[in-house]
Amino acid sequence: MHVLLHTPNATAGEWHAALAAALPEARVTRWPDAPRAIDYLAVWKPPPELFGAAPAVKAIFNLGAGVDALMRMPTLPAGVPVIRIEDGGMADQMVDYVTLAVLAAYREQRVYAAQQREGLWRQRPYRDKRAFGVGLLGLGVLGQCVAAALARFGFPLAGWSRERKTVAGVRTYAGASELPEFLSRSQMLVCLLPSTPATRGLLDRARLHQLPQGAHLVNAARGDIVVDADLVAALDDGHLASATLDVFHEEPLPRTHPFWQHPGITLTPHVSAITLVDVSVAQIAAKIRRLERGLAVTGVVDRERGY
């Protein structure tokens, strides 16, 4: 069995060694060193020509949770299952990232930081948690872990998905028709949606203004779900109090982009949750073994939906 690996990041050697160790029955090679018969691809942002080297590939493993970059590739072979990483050590990290942002917003950290810069000693009134609704856009692997972690803090939790979910302690909303009501009760909106044709540009001027006055946004999913200019306008006109952004239309975020200097924005360089090599490789190896035995695996992307 042959597995061809491609990852452009600095951990390519680590992925290679881990995959070879987890699948001793396979020959693992690293693009562009492609053998003739390739059974499985394990890729992150591959070059378009890579797929041409694997005409009989049985499955394509995406070395991350989001498959939007793969789905956009015209050379991606039709009819081959695309399998994404499910959690892969990312859920815990996402819980930390989102919890930090939610608590910072609820405890008005930005306001106190500004007061400190001015040398101001001014106590703000207690805020009732029951009036600080947290809305999770996306109730998938990450969204549900974040919901479970936030449950202990006592914020009213809501979640929005395509199909209605039942999640303990979370008021659930589904589909476009229920989005306005969901947004209207989200003092803190956390985006954990995949980037698909249905979600790109979702957070535009109209939707951002359906959030309550003074709401906060966290986007740790994909940059193109938010309309950048509309977000800046909503912060500038005071409708939104802050945005915590980990993902952007273009990454690295161009040095001249207004987000860098905006006083209402906290940004991080796509680090909210990093795919952990050992956990992910164990997941891929287990799935390859199941596929080899003709068994079904989870995490197969629905190409129609795009995630």
Catalytic residues, by residue number, are: 222, 270
Is 64 among the residues that bind ligand OXD (CB under 6 A)? yes
State which of positions 165-194 bind ligand NDP (CB under 6 A).
Answer: 165, 192-194
Name 297's Cβ contacts closer than 8 Å, sequence gap at least 6. 83, 287, 290, 291
Place of tokens 């815990």: 92
In angstroms, the CA 58 to CA 207 distance is: 41
Q: CB burial class (10 A; 0-12, 13-18, 19+) of residue 298?
A: exposed
Among 16-24, 61-69, 138-146, 283-291, which window interacts with ligand OXD (CB under 6 A)? 61-69
Among 257, 270, 289, 303, binds ligand NDP (CB under 6 A): 270
Closer CB to ligand OXD, 65 or 241, in the complex: 65
The rounded Cα 189 to chain-centroid distance in angstroms is 14
Among 47-55, 60-68, 94-102, 230-238, which window interacts with ligand OXD (CB under 6 A)? 60-68
Token representation of residue 87: 């959690």
In angstroms, the CA 125 to CA 107 distance is: 10
In angstroms, the CA 28 to CA 34 distance is: 10
Among 15-23, 147-155, 228-236, 270-278, which window interacts with ligand NDP (CB under 6 A)? 270-278
Is 66 among the residues that bind ligand OXD (CB under 6 A)? yes
Q: Which helix (H) or strand (E) holds 83?
A: strand 82-83
Site string for ligand OXD, 263-282 (x = CB under 6 A): ------------x-------
State which of positions 172-231 bind ligand OXD (CB under 6 A).
Answer: none
Residue 62 interacting entry, from ligand NDP, ligand OXD, none, C-beta within 5 to 8 Å by type: none
Q: Which residue is nearest to ligand OXD (CB)?
A: 64
Name 245's Cβ contacts closer than 8 Å, sequence gap at least 6. 217, 218, 219, 223, 226, 259, 265, 266, 267, 268
Residues in touch with ligand OXD (CB under 6 A): 64-66, 275
Residues in touch with ligand NDP (CB under 6 A): 65-66, 90, 138-143, 160-163, 165, 192-196, 198-199, 220-222, 246-247, 270, 272-273, 307
